Amino acid sequence: MDFINSVLVFLHLLGMAGILAGFMIQLITGHASGPKSILHSSLLQLVTGLLLLGLAEMGEDPVNHVKFGIKLAVAIAVTAVAIFNVRKPGNPLAITAGALTVVNVAVAVFVS
């Protein structure tokens, strides 16, 4: 179970990097791979995050449902913004997705 958890955290961190990489690609180059990277990575975050949460629920330690409720809401917002950004790319949309992602990193790290 520990190994599966590690694999999921690994993918979860790559997903975070993918959103921020897509954000940078879009802002710096305007290339279409930017919005796609943001969208695919945000979906990866939702899938890996929910699987990680499922594993945490199966463990013995208490789970902070407020923390993960906030993370889920923010991740859904990132995905929604990412969908709009693929349909009609715009720097404000990319910046919103990037900023919300940083919010989720802060929640992940600073809320216990």
**What residues make contact with ligand HEM under the rule CB under 6 A?**
9, 12, 16, 45-46, 49-50, 52-53, 56, 68, 71-72, 75, 78, 101, 104-105, 108-109
Closer residue to ligand HEM (CB): 89 or 105:
105
Closer residue to ligand HEM (CB): 16 or 39:
16
Q: Give residues with Cβ within 8 angstroms of 69, minimum separation 6.
A: none
Q: Give residues with Cβ within 8 angstroms of 48, minimum separation 6.
A: 8, 11, 12, 15
Closer residue to ligand HEM (CB): 46 or 83:
46
Residue type, 86: V
